[in-house]
Copies of this chain bind each other. A is one copy, B any other.
Amino acid sequence: MYADLEDTELEALKRDLEHDYAEIKRRDLTLNMARGKPSSAQLDLSMPMLTCVHALEDCYSEDGVDCRNYGVLDGLPEAKRLLAPLLDEEDIDNIIVGGNSSLTLMHDQIARMYLFGTLGSKPWSDYENVKWLCPVPGYDRHFAITEEFGMELIPVPCDEHGPDMDVVESLVADDESVKGIWCVPKYSNPAGTTYSDEVVERLARMHCAAEDFRIFWDNAYCVHHLHFDDGGEQDHLLDIGIACAEAETPDRYIKFCSTSKVTFPGAGISAMAASPDNISEMKQHLRIGTIGYDKLNQMRHVIFLKDADGIKEHMAAHARILKPKFELVQKKLSDALDEVGGCTWSNPNGGYFVSFDGPEGTARRIVELARNAGVVLTGAGATWPHGVDPHDSNIRIAPTLPPIDELSNALDVFTLCVKLAYVELLTGDIERPELSD
């Protein structure tokens, strides 16, 4: 363990690591572990979707709508049925199928809260200060949305069961300006955590001072397991809709999903599910800004993916590509860092990320060292609101995009940078952050 080493040993170690690092820099690598993008091999799985709507008969929905023409605000019934299992939603009347981005659905929902309020509440733009709960580590694009609207973002610590509910409950109980929480409840971005039943139930039944408090339930990785019929575990998530119905808080949640990491990111379809009152209000607003979303792309998804079994089969094909990459991350990190100490990382059963925590005060330095050696990582701090990780420890590893040989090289660079940064910390070359309480 590095922490146990004497100063002279550390100095010798540093010289060795610096030598190795200089070697690597000479290789002029260009590797990327930054974004949660599927690889080309994964995208190839969906190529038949490009041409599965080709004849006139493919363009007609089951209720006779010509999908080539205007109309149908909230989605084709068969598209709603296709996405219902991704939303854990039994009643397709509670579903709206959107365009190519669930992020847009979330952004626009918050915009509507600001402009119009919801279900009789006053517009959030009427508040001096709106607060939002951000479980950390979390998704930078979520944080960016709430940041754009000028909200005060409150980090909430997480453990292996999800957000710390004692903290959440105390924050929402008396403060009417706390209006919502970001949740990636299954195989979370980046920690890979799936919320426990208790966390979901407490979110549903906690007392909120704000009647218009909303849980943004971004179930982006709902069917994105790594294990299908291989003996590995699949996480199970309690449906927030059922939990809220039981807690008599039926309007508290809005569920989101998309096929971005099922078929084609940017050319998939999105959807949301909520209570009848929420859905009805959403439709009243949505119809002002659009005549309807792309129904031909809805039909492509329906014809290509077919149903829940079709989705399962397709996701199993993704998993066959992804599993070796996630296994490689575990092996490389373990081989290189178990003996180093000071580092922890997640080992998820699904999703797109591994969350890595280095010694406090090393994350920015690790990312900098890696970048200078040709390996792009997600920016240190990206997993925290406003991009500032007070511990300067968390790094999101995204192993999905690079081919496995490139991933292997990138991980070797990464672990070397972790070691070097740690030694620099221990020898006083870089400083631990001063934490406010």
Contact = CB atoms under 8 A, between A and B. Distances in A.
Contacts of A292: 266
Nearest to A116: B148
A288 B111 CA distance: 12
A258 to B, nearest CB: 11
Nearest to A101: B290
A397 to B, nearest CB: 18
Interface string A30-42: 0000010110100
B69 A264 contact: yes
A37 B70 contact: yes
A37 B68 CA distance: 10
A53 interface: yes
A355 interface: no
Contacts of A148: 285, 288
B68 A103 contact: no
Contacts of A59: 50
A12 interface: no
Interface string A76-116: 00000000000000000000000111011001100100110
A5 interface: no
A317 interface: no
Interface of A: 35, 37-38, 40, 43-44, 46-47, 50-51, 53-54, 56, 59, 66-72, 99-101, 103-104, 107-108, 111, 114-115, 123, 125, 141, 144-145, 148-149, 260, 264-267, 285, 288-297
